[in-house]
Amino acid sequence: MKKADIIIVGSGIAALQLARRLQDHFYVMIITKDEIESGNSFLAQGGIAAPLGLKDSVRAHLKDTLEAGCYHQEEESVKELIVDGKRIVESMVDDGAPFDRNRDGSLALGMEGAHSEHRILHSGGDQTGKYLVKHLLKGLSGKKVEFVEGQMVYELVKDDRGHCCGVKTKDKDEAIRYYYAPHIVLATGGIGGLYPFTSNHPAVTGDGMALAFLAGAKLSDMEFIQFHPTLLWSEGKTCGLISEAVRGEGALLLNDEGKRIMEGVDSLMELAPRHIVAECIYKERQKGKDVYLDISRIEDFQRKFPSISALCSTHHISIEAGRIPVSPGCHFMMGGIVTDRAGRTNIPGLYAIGEVACSGIHGANRLASNSLLEGLVYGDRLGEYLIRSGVTHSPRVHSPIDQLVEGESLHIPFQPDELKRGMMNHVGIIREENGLLAHLNWLKKQPLTFHEHLDFNSREEIHAYFMWVVSLLVSESALLRTESRGGHIRADYPGEDQDGWFKRKIILQNNEGRLRVGYHEQNEIKIYA
């Protein structure tokens, strides 16, 4: 058993930003199930959106974010994100963060879909996540920040007052360990690994959302999933991300007949919001046509996009030929654990930041490059809140538990690949009632339950069980929202229902093993059995 002041589960941008903010005040432990430099943040090609250009403004960035999110957000929260984000990014620039620059020394600001101005800061061309993770790691002290790698958190521990005060893990040798702290932060990322086609690290399968739900936390907006339009397609599978910045530099989307597929679909053409582009590519592929990014107009492609060039080379796609085969895949989760401005959940002592959280800023569809901005802002905010709250320097728990509750063991009756296929076929880019019901029926036929205390023989079983939990939550939400909005597209309800669903959020919560569903309306959450 080990103790800390604050435990952070996950090691991406949000986690590292928080640790950097806290390290002069508390003993911080970062627990990750793989290595520190793995996960979505390290893979991120795109950059950070911030209104730093001479013609740009907070107001313009706000407008673009709200439009991309179909106005499913609270405007004031989005404005605060952009104002705080601009300040934090400017501070990082002053601190020497490795952002790319033009020949005259000014910041190189890129353009991406649904943005009205050039405002994307990037590093190493298309290696922003890698550069920023290394920059944040460099700023961490080894004295008060401890990294625990290879430990998979599979249960949140609460004391007799219901406060979250620790985590239960299983290491790569299947040994069980306990870690305690007065404050537990989930920064575990999204759910891309629930789909066979994804830009995400394969280990990112919604662990944090499952953990929080099983412990009784509220989740929201689970139906809103962003599918990135352009993943490299090779030999019948997706093989990695082709950044939206490629389209920002002038690449065109063509089918195998050479026709621009975005003509007549949206006035922004290739730079339309992601759900519009992804749906268009998906429909072309459903017709049996291949879709390509025509990069022939982009000068110095390999210098501008070194990691994409290397990815193409690995899969024997010729950059010189000027066409990259692409297909959509799961990219980002707009929903997650319901949090307030500081990252607090409804469970005392439990916090969530980054993609695992539903802070309400992304709405129904995330604006490109707002995710790294969110991680930086909420990591900074939660750090400020915890410092102001005066967490004791002496590692302790709220109310130490003398006897730990032993869980019951579950057997996983299915293979994860079977669940992934069901998610892609029925809860993917375009959904409809019959498909959603088919997948939900399959999920509910599995002899599994929502149980807060569970033991497993292996990490693989934990992984599959968490996938089942999150898949069920996504599917239930997708069935309930009878409209199309942003990343949630229903073939049987093709339009936005402004009367019935505008700013209405579906809330999910575990109540002693039963799924409770409610709605967030007029700043009030109502939960029904």
Strands (E) located in 321-369: 323-333, 336-338, 350-352, 357-358
Residue range 241-286, pLDDT digits in tens: 998 889 999 999 999 999 999 999 999 999 998 889 999 999 999 9
Measured CA to CA in angstroms, residue 309 lies from 26, 202, 257, 298, 445 at distances of 42, 21, 24, 13, 45
Q: CB neighbours of 355 closer than 8 A, spacing ≥ 6?
A: 14, 40, 189, 190, 332, 333, 336, 371, 374, 375
Q: Does any domain span residue 10?
A: yes
Q: Per-residue pLDDT tens for 328-381?
A: 999 999 999 999 999 999 999 999 999 999 999 999 999 989 999 999 999 999
Contact between residue 119 and residue 50 where contact means Cβ atoms under 8 Å apart? yes
Instruction: Report if residue 202 sits inside a domain.
Output: no
Pair 381, 415 in one domain: no
What is the rounded distance in angstroms from the CA atom of residue 467 to the CA atom of residue 445?
A: 15
379 against 451, higher pLDDT: 379
Q: In terms of domains, do 114 and 244 share one?
A: no
Of 329, 356, 380, which one is at a domain's C-terminal end? 329
Residues 175-188 pLDDT 10s: 999 999 999 999 99
pLDDT for the residue 399: 43
Same domain for 314 and 430, yes or no, is no
139 plus 266 within the same structural domain: no
Q: Which letter does DSSP use for residue 80 in this model?
A: H
Average confidence (pLDDT) over 191-195: 96
Q: What is the pLDDT of residue 451?
A: 83
Query: Tokens for 308?
Result: 């994409």
Check whether residue 325 and residue 339 sit in a common domain. Answer: no
426 and 194 in contact (C-beta within 8 Å)?
no
**467-478 as b/e: b if 16+ CB within 10 A:** bbbbbbbbbbbb
Query: CA–CA separation, 352 vs 337, rounded Å?
Result: 7
- On average, the pLDDT of the chain sits at 92
Based on the fold, state whether residues 359 and 449 are members of the same structural domain: no
Q: How many separate domains does the chain show?
A: 3
Q: Which of 310, 329, 348 is the C-terminal boundary of a domain?
A: 329
* Residues above pLDDT 70, as percent of the chain: 94
Question: What residues make up the domain containing 337?
Answer: 2-182+332-389
Binned at pLDDT 50, 70 and 90, residue 394 comes out as very low
- Residues annotated as part of the active site: 274
| Boundary (domain end) residue, out of 389, 424, 458 | 389
